[in-house]
Structure 1
Amino acid sequence: MKALSTAANHSLLWFAVAGLLAARRGSSRKAALRGLFSIAVASTSANAVLKPLLPRRRPAASELPAYQKLADPPTSSSFPSGHAASAAAFATAVAMESPKLGLAVAPLAATVAYSRVHVGVHWTSDVVAGAAVGTGVALLSRRWWPVRLTDEARARPLDAVPVLSGGEGLVIVSNQRSGDPEHDPAADLEEAFPRAVVVRAEPDRDLDEQLDAAVEAAGDRVRAIGAAGGDGTVAAAAAVAGRRRLPFVVVPTGTLNHFARDVGVYDLQEAVDATAAGEAVAVDLAVVEVHPGPDSEAVVRTRCFLNTASLGSYPDLVRLREQWQPRWGKWPAFAAALVVVLRRAEPVGVRIEGRWTKVWFLFVGNGPYHPRGMVPAWRPTLDSGLLDVRWLRADVRFSRLRAVAALLLGALDHSRVYGQREVPEFDVQLSVPGMLATDGEVVEEAGHYTFRVAKEPIEVYRRREENWTGRDRPFLP
C-alpha cells in the first residue's frame, strides 16, 4: 500500500498507464487522452481550489506502526484527497471511452484511493469526497468532449436494393492516390468483386467523368455504383449514383474516411457482406449551387457533398485538426486548431438571412451534427433532410477572445459570436468571392452559394448487424 500510494504521487502512476493505453489507436488512445484531461482538471480542483477553501487536519499517522507510515507524509489540508480525485477521474474517463478498459483500471484506482486511508494520511470522508470530485470532473468533460461509443449513425433501412453476388452489376472506381500512396486498392477490389467493373482513377481526368464513361460502356448491366477512396472520391462517385438513381457502395481506403465510418462500413469485407446480402440504408445527399457573378453568362453549377462544406477559414481549421488529431484526439486537436486559425484569420463579409455581417468561417453539415451548440463532432442520423449551418461572427467586439473563452467554458451556444440553424436550404452571398471547400477539398471560388438537401436520398449498402451470422464472408483480404 505504501508503494502504491507513493507511485500515485503527482499522478505518475496514471501517466504511465495512459502511456500504455495511448500506444494503441482507437478507443484506447482516446481513453488515455480523456483520462489525462480529467486528471488535470480534477487535481487542480482538489488541490488548488478545495483544499485551501476547506482546511482540515490529517489523521494522527504517528499512531500507526512504522511499516505502515509514509516516510514523508503530506502537510496540506486533508480534505479532499487529491490522490482519490485523480484516480477516480482517470478511471471514470477511461470507462467512458472503453467500458472494458474501465473495468481493468477501476480496481487499481479504488486501491490507490484506499491506500491513502491505509497509510494514515486521509480520513475516509476525504477519500470519498475526492473520488466524487474526480468522477464529476470526468463526467463533466462530456460537455466539451462528447463521447461516441459507436461510429455508426442511424439511417432508414431499405429492402429494395439488388443483391450483387461477386460484385455482378457493380461499377466501382478506385483512387490509388487516397490513403496509402504505396498501395493500390484496385487489386483487392478485383479479388473481392470478381464480376464487377473496376475503374482505376486517372490523375488528369475528372473522376465523375471517368465513372460516367464506365457506366455508359457497361450499359444495362449496371445495377450499382461504388467508390474506393477518401471522402472526396466517395462524394464524387456518390453524386453520379444520385444522378443515375443507382445504389451506392462505399469502400474506405482514404486517410480518415468520415463518411464510411458514419455509414458503418469500416473495411472492404463489410462492403462485400452488404452487397452479397442486398441490404442498404437511405442517406441524404447535400447539394451546393454555385451561382455565377451578375455580369457572367455562365450557368449555375452544382456540386454534391456527403459530409461538410465550408467558407472562410474553416478549411484551414480542418487541415490543422486532421494533422494533429492522430496524436491528440479530435476535440483537443480542434480546440488547438481553432485558436491558431482565429489568430491568423481574416473576416469574411457574408449575407445571411437577408443581413450583411462578417464571420470568421461558416460551416455547413449534411445533417445535424452532435453536439448542438459546440464543436461539430459527429452525425447521429444520416437521413434527417436538414443542413446544420454554424458560423462564428467577426463583427462582435473581442469576438475571437469571446469565442475561445466560450468554447473553454462549454458555453459556445450561449455566446453572441455563435450562430446555428438547422434548415433544408441555406443561401449565402459573399462581399468578395471566396473559396468553398467540400468534404475536405477546396473546389470552387464564387460570391454566391445555395446549399440544400437533395430531394431523393441515395441508397448506400450497409449490412444490418442483427442479420449477420459470420457464414457469408467469402473474402478475407
Structure 2
Amino acid sequence: MDLAEIDHRAFDRVAAAKLRGLESVLPRLSAAADHGKLWYLVAAGLAVTGRPSLRRAATRGLIGIALASPTVNIVGKQIFRRRRPLIDNVPVVRVHRIPRSPSFPSGHTASAVAFAAGVAMEATGRTALPVAGLAAAVGFSRVYTGAHYPGDVLAGAASGLAAALVTRLIWPVSAPAEVVPLERSVESVDPSGDGVVVVVNGDDGIEEQLRGELPGARFESSGELEERLERAAGAAKVLAVGGGDGTVGAGAAVALKHDIPLLVLPVGTLNHFSRTLGIETVSDALNAYRSGNLSRVDVGTVNGVPFLNNAGFGIYPEVVRRREKLERRLGKWPALAVSTLRALRHTSPVSATVDGHSRRVWLAFVGNCTYRSHGTVPTTRAHMDDGILDVRVVSARRGLGKPGAFAAVLTGSHRLGYEKWAARSLNIEPSADRLLVSHDGEISGSAPPVVFDKHPKGLAVFVPAP
C-alpha cells in the first residue's frame, strides 16, 4: 500500500465519520478561515489587549501568514497540481466550497499553523494553546468538508511551521534577558508600598492606579523631573519610576547615585529596558516588587551620563528620533528604513578617531551589554550583566556614498562598511568641537573626548520572580 492509497483511505474514514454537534460548526469555521479572515480577526483581538507581548504575537503571526500563503498557493500548488478529493461520500451539509485550485498543500492549514506558531513564539501558553487548538480545528475542517486529503493538510502544516521559523530570521523573538539575582531579596517589602517613593512622568491615570495599589507609598508629583527624582531618592528605600526609557534612564542615574533599588514602571511609549527585564505591564512591575526579587544589572555611561539600553552618534541620534515617532504606526523595520533615508538626506559622515583609529562614521551604535540580533539597530539582549559594550559602526566607504550607507544600515553588510566588536570602554575624539550623542532616546551635545564606559552590575532592579 503506497502513501497515496493511505491518504485516500484516511480521507474516506473522515468522510464517513459523524461528529455530533460539528456537522455545521466545522464548515463555518473552514469558511471563516478563507483568505485569512479568521486570523486577521484573532490578530486584532490580541492587538487591542494593549499587552506588548500579544501585539508582537499578532504581528509575528501575520508575518508568518504573509510568508506561508504565497509560498503554498503560488509555488507549492503549481508544482504538485494534485486533484481535489472526490466528495461523493461527504454529506452535503458539510460541503462548504471546493476551490478550483490544486489540492496539495493546504493553504488554509499553512496559514493557520504559521499564525499559531508565530503566536506561540511570543505569547504564554494561556494564549498560545487556544490559538493552536483553533488552527488544528481549521486543518481538520479542510478534510471534514471534503476540500483536502489528510496529506494535503499535513504538508500545509509543515509549510506553515517552516514559515513561522523563518520569521525568526527576519525578526528575533523577544525574550527577557537572563538576570542573576542578588544573594538576598529586599528585606521586609511592604505590600502597601511603605518606603517606596514614586515618580511618574506624564501619566496621571497611572499615578491614580498606583495610589490604589500602593497606599503606603509616597508620590513626588510637582516640579521638574530631575528635581522630583532627587527628592524621591533622598527619602526612598525603593525608587519607583514610571515612564519611557528616557525617564527610566534618569531614574536609574539617581538610583545608582544613592545606591537604592529601582522599580521600573513601563508606562512610556517605548519600554525596551523594562521588557528586557521581563516587565511589560505595571502589574508585572508590582508583582516583581511584592516578590522582593532583586538583580544587579550593568549600566553604560557616556561622559558619565548613564544609559540602560544604548547610545550612539553620527546619524544615529536623528534615526532614533525619527524612528520612535514612526515605530508605532509602521513597525520597527519600516520605521528604521524611512528614518534612515530621511536622516541621510541632509547629513555627512562624522570624522572622528575611534579608539585610536581614524574613521568617517555614518552611524555608531553602542549597546549596554551584548545584543543578540544582527544589524545596526538591534533590540534584544540575552544578559544584562556581561560587562560588555556592544559596538556597531557603519563607516563611509569610497565610491558608495549615501546609497551604500543606507544599504549598510539596513543589511549590516561588512562589504558596505558595517563593523561590530565588543569593548569594555570606547574613546571617541571627534574633529568637531561637539559631538551629538543619543542615549536611551535622549539627545545632547558632548565636548571631546567622548568616553563610553560601564558600571558592571551597578544597578539593583526588581525583576519577576523566577
1:385-396 equivalences under 5 Å are 385-395=387-397
CA distance in 2, matches of 1:148, 1:278: 25
1:304 equivalenced with 2:302 (yes/no): no
Residue 438 (structure 1) aligns with? 439
Residue 379 (structure 1) aligns with? 381
CA contact (8 A) 2:244 2:267 kept: yes
1:112-131 equivalences under 5 Å are 112-131=138-157
Residue 243 (structure 1) aligns with? 257
Residue 192 (structure 1) aligns with? 214
Residue 173 (structure 2) aligns with? 147
Deviates more, 1:68-77 or 1:303-312: 68-77
Q: Which of 223, 247, 253 pairs up with 1:233?
A: 247
Alpha-carbon spacing, 1:114–1:262, altered in 2? closer, same or farther (3 Å) = closer
Note the C-alpha offset of 1:386: 1.0
Note the C-alpha offset of 1:46: 1.0
Residue 58 (structure 1) aligns with? 83
CA displacement 1:231-267 (0-9 Å, x = unmatched): 3333234323433444445444544343344345567
| Cα RMSD (Å) | 3.7
CA distance in 2, matches of 1:6, 1:321: 39
CA contact (8 A) 2:337 2:410 kept: no
Residue 302 (structure 2) aligns with? 288
Alpha-carbon spacing, 1:83–1:456, altered in 2? closer, same or farther (3 Å) = closer
Deviates more, 1:363-372 or 1:230-239: 230-239
Note the C-alpha offset of 1:39: 0.6
Alpha-carbon spacing, 1:274–1:342, altered in 2? closer, same or farther (3 Å) = closer
Note the C-alpha offset of 1:190: 11
Note the C-alpha offset of 1:465: 2.1
Q: SS of the counterpart of 1:454?
A: strand
CA distance in 1, matches of 2:107, 2:284: 47
CA contact (8 A) 2:110 2:158 kept: yes
Residue 402 (structure 1) aligns with? 407
CA distance in 2, matches of 1:187, 1:32: 28
CA contact (8 A) 1:174 1:186 kept: no
% same residue? 36
Note the C-alpha offset of 1:452: 0.8
Residue 157 (structure 1) aligns with? 182
Q: TM-score, normalised by structure 1?
A: 0.76
Q: Which of 100, 107, 111 pairs up with 1:82?
A: 107
Q: SS of the counterpart of 2:270?
A: coil
Alpha-carbon spacing, 1:121–1:373, altered in 2? closer, same or farther (3 Å) = same
CA distance in 2, matches of 1:160, 1:3: 54
CA displacement 1:357-402 (0-9 Å, x = unmatched): 3443222121112325575223332221111122334437342563
CA distance in 2, matches of 1:266, 1:184: 14
Q: SS of the counterpart of 1:67?
A: coil
CA displacement 1:7-61 (0-9 Å, x = unmatched): 3222222222322332222233222221111111101111222233x23230353
CA distance in 1, matches of 2:242, 2:419: 36
Give the residue type in structure 2 aligned to 1:303: V
CA distance in 1, matches of 2:291, 2:90: 69
Q: SS of the counterpart of 1:284?
A: strand
CA contact (8 A) 1:359 1:391 kept: yes
Q: SS of the counterpart of 1:110?
A: helix
CA distance in 2, matches of 1:272, 1:121: 50
Note the C-alpha offset of 1:441: 1.2
Alpha-carbon spacing, 1:285–1:2, altered in 2? closer, same or farther (3 Å) = closer
Note the C-alpha offset of 1:214: 7.3
CA contact (8 A) 2:284 2:464 kept: no
CA distance in 1, matches of 2:336, 2:36: 29
Note the C-alpha offset of 1:202: 2.1
CA contact (8 A) 2:313 2:437 kept: yes
Alpha-carbon spacing, 1:254–1:88, altered in 2? closer, same or farther (3 Å) = closer
Residue 338 (structure 2) aligns with? 340
CA contact (8 A) 2:264 2:285 kept: yes
Q: SS of the counterpart of 1:420?
A: strand
Q: Which of 111, 121, 137 pairs up with 1:96?
A: 121
Gaps of 5+ in 2: 1-25
Alpha-carbon spacing, 1:131–1:393, altered in 2? closer, same or farther (3 Å) = farther
CA distance in 1, matches of 2:206, 2:131: 41
Q: TM-score, normalised by structure 2?
A: 0.77
